[in-house]
Amino acid sequence: MLVVQSIAKNLQMPYDYKSIFKVVSDIKTIPVQLEKRSYSIYLDDNWESLFQEGLSSIYTKDASDRKLLLITDENVANWYQQAVEEQFRNLGFTVTTAVIKPGESAKTLGEAEKLYDIALEANLDRQSLVVALGGGVIGDLAGFVAATYMRGVPFVQIPTSLLAQVDSSVGGKVAVNHPKAKNVIGAFYQPQSVLMNVSSLKTLPKRELSTGLAEVIKYGVIYDESFLSWLETHMTDLMSLDLSLLSKAIQRSCEIKADVVSQDETEQGLRAILNFGHTVGHAIESSAGYGSYTHGEAVSIGMIVETRITHLMGMVPAEYVNRLEAVLIGAGLPVTLPDVDPNVLIGWMRHDKKNIGDKIGFVLPVGPGRVEVFHNVETDIVLEALA
Ligand X SMILES: NC(=O)c1ccc[n+]([C@@H]2O[C@H](COP(=O)([O-])OP(=O)(O)OC[C@H]3O[C@@H](n4cnc5c(N)ncnc54)[C@H](O)[C@@H]3O)[C@@H](O)[C@H]2O)c1
Report, as residue numbers or ranges, the catalytic residues.
151, 173, 215, 257, 267, 271, 275, 278, 282, 295
Angle between helices 109-121 and 136-148 (to 10 degrees): 60
Angle subtended at Cα 164 by Cα 162 and Cα 169, rounded to the nearest 5 degrees = 145
For position 200 contacting ligand X by CB under 6 A, the verdict is: yes
Report if residue 81 touches ligand X, rule: CB under 6 A.
no
189 forms part of the interface with ligand X (CB under 6 A): no
Comparing CB distances to ligand X, the nearer of 175 and 360 is 175
Q: Please, are residues 254 and 214 in contact by the beta-carbon 8 Å criterion? A: no
- From the list 75-83, 248-256, 285-293, 363-371, the region that binds ligand X by CB under 6 A is 75-83
Residue 220 contacts ligand X per CB under 6 A: no
Among 163, 221, 283, 349, binds ligand X (CB under 6 A): 163
Of the pair 321, 331, the CB lying nearest ligand X is at: 331
In angstroms, the CA 96 to CA 107 distance is 20
Question: Does residue 138 interact with ligand X by CB under 6 A?
Answer: yes
> Which stretch, 56-64, 103-111, 113-121, 265-273, contacts ligand X (CB under 6 A)?
103-111
The answer to the question of residue 173 lying near ligand X (CB under 6 A) is yes
How near is the Cβ of 220 to ligand X at its closest, in Å?
A: 17
- In sequence order, the 6+-apart residues with CB closer than 8 A to the CB of 79 are 200, 203
Does residue 140 belong to the site contacting ligand X (CB under 6 A)?
yes
Which residues fall within 8 angstroms of residue 320, CB to CB, at 6 or more apart?
307, 311, 365, 368
- Decide whether 176 or 235 has the Cβ nearer to ligand X: 176
Is 266 or 376 the residue whose CB approaches ligand X more closely?
A: 266
What type of residue sits at position 247? Answer: S
Please list the alpha-helical segments (H only) found in the chain: 17-20, 47-54, 74-90, 109-121, 136-148, 162-163, 206-223, 225-239, 243-263, 278-288, 295-312, 318-330, 342-349, 379-386
One residue of 44, 45, 53, 73 binding ligand X per CB under 6 A: 73
User: Is residue 41 near ligand X by the rule CB under 6 A?
Assistant: no
Does residue 183 bind ligand X (CB under 6 A)? Answer: yes
Looking at residue 359, the DSSP 8-state letter turns out to be B
Contact status: 332 vs ligand X (CB under 6 A): no
243, exposed or middle or buried, with CB in 10 Å at 0-12, 13-18, 19+?
Answer: middle
CB closer to ligand X, 175 vs 364: 175
Q: Are 189 and 143 in contact (CB under 8 A)?
A: yes
| Chosen residue from 25, 38, 105, 203 binding ligand X by CB under 6 A | 203
Distance CA 144, CA 135 (A): 14
Q: Residue 137: which of 106, 158, 166 has the closest Cα?
A: 106
What's the min distance (Å) between Cβ of 359 and ligand X? Answer: 25
Angle between helices 225-239 and 206-223 (to 10 degrees): 170
Nearer to ligand X, 163 or 345 (CB): 163
Q: Which window, 50-58, 136-144, 222-230, 248-256, contacts ligand X (CB under 6 A)?
A: 136-144
Distance CA 253, CA 260 (A): 11
Q: Which one of 90, 157, 160, 251 is in contact with ligand X (CB under 6 A)?
A: 160
Report if residue 40 touches ligand X, rule: CB under 6 A: no
We find the least distance from the C-beta atom of residue 290 to ligand X, in angstroms, to be: 10
Q: Is 208 in the site for ligand X (CB under 6 A)?
A: yes
Least distance between ligand X and beta carbon 20 (Å): 26
Stretch that binds ligand X, among 120-128, 155-163, 246-254, 297-305 (CB under 6 A): 155-163
Residue 62: φ, ψ to 5°: -60, 130
Amino acid at 157: Q
**Residue 330 and residue 216 in contact, taking contact as beta carbons nearer than 8 Å:** no
Q: Using CB under 6 A as the criterion, which residues of the chain lie in contact with ligand X when the complex forms?
A: 73, 75-76, 79, 102-104, 107, 134-138, 140, 160-161, 163-164, 167-168, 171, 173, 183, 200, 203-204, 208, 211, 295
